[in-house]
Amino acid sequence: MTQETILANAKLILRDEVVTGSLKLRDGLIASMDTGASVPVGALDCNGDYLAPGLIELHTDNLERHITPRPKVEWPHGPAILAHDREMAGCGITTVFDAMRVGSIPESKGRYLKYARALSSELLALRARGALKISHFLHLRAEICSETLPDELAEFTPEDRVRIVSLMDHTPGQRQFRDIEKMKGYVMGKRQMSEEDFTEHVANLLDLQNRLGAIHEAAAVRDGTRLGAVLASHDDTTAEQVGTSAGHGVTMAEFPTTVEAAQACRDHGIAIIMGAPNLVRGGSHSGNVAAQDLAERELLDIVSSDYVPAALLLSAVQLGDVWGNLARGIATVTANPAQAVSLKDRGVLEVGKRADVIRFAIDDGTAVARQVWSHGTQVA
């Protein structure tokens, strides 16, 4: 049975401009587009609100937050996945790459345990049953400084919808944790460690990096290729680190921590991803480079909500103000991420593309999601 929705009298955010017009959604696709403010019989009058492509989130830890809402509290995975899915939809996100850590440290004081294979199987089962409102893919965060990375990666196959593998090295003294004191405050608070526990944890991580770092990095690159995934680097700090990433075939850089690293990414043709919370808050919570600084230097391509889903739309509108071009700002959370992961069926408002659409308004400078459609069905 044909399902048709007409959204009229809206500001359509296209690739390079914003125009007043209407969209017709039919059977999961954008069937037609027209200009003008008229409201046909049976159409939804958007009253001048904006219509944009559904947002595409490449890196979010939000699912982990739902399965562990408090330290040492494990929430049932099925309800956690469903709650995460609904939260994403409510924020205007219609495609999400759920970031799951692979690589564990099961024995030491700073231990963290394996979970990604089981959780992804539950998520994919829910998807197969039609229980999820939006489109989900997997983003495997390959923890280089771990004990079990190759074995955990080997459990995934090309049928698991793994579209991103990121190389994450949280060895103390470099990248995100080059300031040990900042690392201490973060880790001790999150893991409820004593000073003695933290010292032991740092020593263990340094030992793991020394023994297994190169082996694990090679395994992550190899398995990313086997899975057909895009490779991403994480927290690059120096031009040398970016050069290594480029040599591995990395095409996206998540959250470079310095202008030097971001410029090196641009020089190597690597897409630069920055965090929406960094933009909204006006700076990095870790003391790294401000995302707006990179935007003003033309060194920002894609935005990720990271740990605050609602920040994705806020940050895109904020970037529109920074650049004086709302269409360009919205592209950082729609067209640009779609291109980076070769999702050619979405990310722009064009006839024939998936009918993933967000209706939003700007209230006193704040972007507010009003309605969301995923594959032509209203989900929020």
Predicted confidence at residue 200, as pLDDT, reads: 67
According to the model, what pLDDT value does residue 187 have? 58
The answer to whether residues 18 and 12 touch, using CB atoms and an 8 Å cutoff, is yes
What is the predicted pLDDT for the residue at 363?
A: 94
- Determine the average pLDDT of the residues in 208-218: 83
Q: How many CA atoms lie within 13 A of 101 on its CB side?
A: 20
When pLDDT is cut at 50, 70 and 90, the band that residue 353 belongs to is: very high
Domain containing 271: what range?
Answer: 55-344
Task: Specify the amino acid at residue 355.
Answer: A
Residue 21 lies in a domain: no
Length of the chain: 380
> Do the domain assignments include residue 7?
no
**Would you state the pLDDT for residue 169?**
84
Tell me the CA distances in angstroms from 363 to 46, 56, 333, one per residue in order.
Answer: 15, 23, 20
How many domains does one find in the chain? 1
273 belongs to a structural domain = yes
pLDDT at 251 over 60: yes
Tokens (6 digits) for 108: 């030491």
What percent of the chain has a predicted confidence (pLDDT) above 90? 80
Q: pLDDT tens digit string along 62-105?
A: 999 999 998 789 999 999 999 999 999 999 999 999 999 999 88
Residue 266 lies in a domain: yes
Of residues 242 and 183, the one with the higher pLDDT is 242
DSSP 105: B
pLDDT per position as a tens digit, 97-131: 999 999 988 766 656 789 999 999 999 999 999 99
Letter string b/e over residues 218-252, b meaning 16 or more CB atoms within 10 A of that residue's CB: ebbbebbeebebbbbbbbbbbbebbeebbebebbb
Report the Cα 355 to chain-centroid distance in Å: 20
Give the tokens for residue 324: 């004086």
pLDDT at 172: 62
**Helix or strand or coil: residue 193?**
coil
7 vs 161: CA distance, rounded Å = 32
> What distance in Å separates the CA atoms of residue 43 and residue 115, rounded to the nearest whole number?
46
Rounded Cα–Cα distance for residues 118 and 79 (Å): 15
Across residues 330-354, what is the average pLDDT? 98
Locate all alpha helices (DSSP H) within the chain, ordered by sequence: 62-67, 77-90, 116-128, 149-153, 180-191, 195-226, 239-248, 259-268, 276-281, 291-296, 311-323, 326-331, 335-340
Q: Identify whether 3 is part of a domain.
A: no
Q: Supply the pLDDT for residue 198.
A: 64
For 177-207, write each residue's pLDDT tens digit: 666 656 655 555 556 666 666 666 666 777 7
Would 222 be classed as within a structural domain?
A: yes
Tens-digit pLDDT profile for residues 268-320 = 999 999 999 999 999 887 778 999 999 999 999 999 999 999 999 999 999 99
Give the mean pLDDT of the chain: 92
Res 206: pLDDT: 73
Q: What is the pLDDT of residue 175?
A: 58
CATH of residue 241's domain is 3.20.20.140
Residue 155 domain-assigned (yes or no): yes
The verdict on residue 146 lying in a domain is yes
196 burial via Cβ count (<10 Å: 0-12, 13-18, 19+): exposed
What's the pTM value of the predicted model, to 2 decimals?
0.92
With contact defined as beta carbons under 8 Å apart, do 347 and 337 qualify?
yes
> Is residue 335 over pLDDT 80?
yes
